[in-house]
Structure 1
Amino acid sequence: MDGKLKLSALDADDLGVISAAVQDSLVAVRDCAFFAAENRFVLLLNRFRWEADATVETAYWRTHSALVFNAVQAVHHHKIPLQEPDRVLELLALGMEGAGTVVLRFAADRAIRLEIDRLACHLGDVGEPWPTPWKPAHPAE
């Protein structure tokens, strides 16, 4: 088993690496939080371990991860069901839109837009990974 993933992003290229690592993560609405006094936005993810080699390992793996954005000034939601804290969202991608905006894109045309002073993003695995028989799949368009 590989070690825990720990990544930081300070520019759009770095964020692309983190985006690939968190693709198909699951996150409950209640596990997305903006700490305005700290200018911090945090998501607690159930992350599919794309980096684990399924040809060597006996199963696919998931792990809990924390995705943290610092220097956040504002958070805007698009179709995020804030009134349904137990609703699970599927994170598809992260990306920069201009110098001061990060967009987190979810399935079902949902999104969270972060207004930032600068990009300061960190991803870290927490706890131990567990096996799963399911690998996320995306139908061809």
Structure 2
Amino acid sequence: MNDDARFEDAREAALNLGALDSEDLQVISGLAQDAVFPITEMKWQRGARRFALLLNRFRWEDDSGARHVPERVQSLLVIEGVLRVASQGIDRSDADLILSLLSVTFEPGQDGAGHVLLTLAGDGAIRLEVEALDVTLKDVTRPYVAPSGKAPHHPD
């Protein structure tokens, strides 16, 4: 028996979203909240001015929990026009480190430029200096059963 979920089970298509303003980015941030990823799945392509993460994203948009167990899906979070990358609270030498994404926000600067801030659980953060806000979130695999069998929970 195959426990992997199918797109057809939820009757929902894979996500492929773009954000060019802060309002759009709030949608992407909400859908990417609680995504987990190994530090090895984080890449800055300096020459292409692109920063990408391969996330294991919880499917918050799937409101069909009565039909099946909670799901995750692998998704690419890509930020274009990246000039500089800085991080804090992350041990980049630990190849086994698993990070959890809490939010994606934009701090505007001059003439459309600014910083995309990826806030991580455990007081970590990644700050990307960008020419302009250009972020995409795209599902790249079929959904699969969340290993925990539960939705992420944040105590009040």
Structure 1 equivalent of residue 145 of structure 2:
131
Name stretches of at least 5 consecutive residues in structure 2 with no aligned partner. 1-9
| Aligned positions of 1:18-97 closer than 5 A | 18-97=28-107
Superposition TM-score, scaled by structure 1 size: 0.96
Aligned length: 140
Distance 1:126 1:120 in 2: 19
Shift of 1:98: 2.2
2:126 and 2:46 mapped to 1: Cα distance? 15
SS at match of 1:20: helix
- 1:82-126 residue CA offsets vs partner (Å, 9 max, x unmatched): 001221011000101223111000000000000000011110001
Radius of gyration: which is bigger? Answer: 2
Q: Does 1:10 align with 2:20?
A: yes
Structure 1 CA distance for aligned equivalents of residues 143 and 100 of structure 2:
19
Structure 1: distance between partners of 2:15 and 2:81: 22
Q: Which runs of 4+ in 1 moved over 4 A?
A: none
Q: Percent identity?
A: 39
Deviation at 1:58, TM superposition (A): 1.4
By percentage of residues, which structure has more strand? 1
Aligned-residue offset at 1:57 = 2.6
Separation in 2, partners of 1:9, 1:56:
31
Partner of 2:7: none
Q: What are structure 1's unaligned runs of at least 5 residues?
A: none
Q: How far did 1:56 drift?
A: 4.2
Report the RMSD for the aligned CA atoms in angstroms. Answer: 1.0
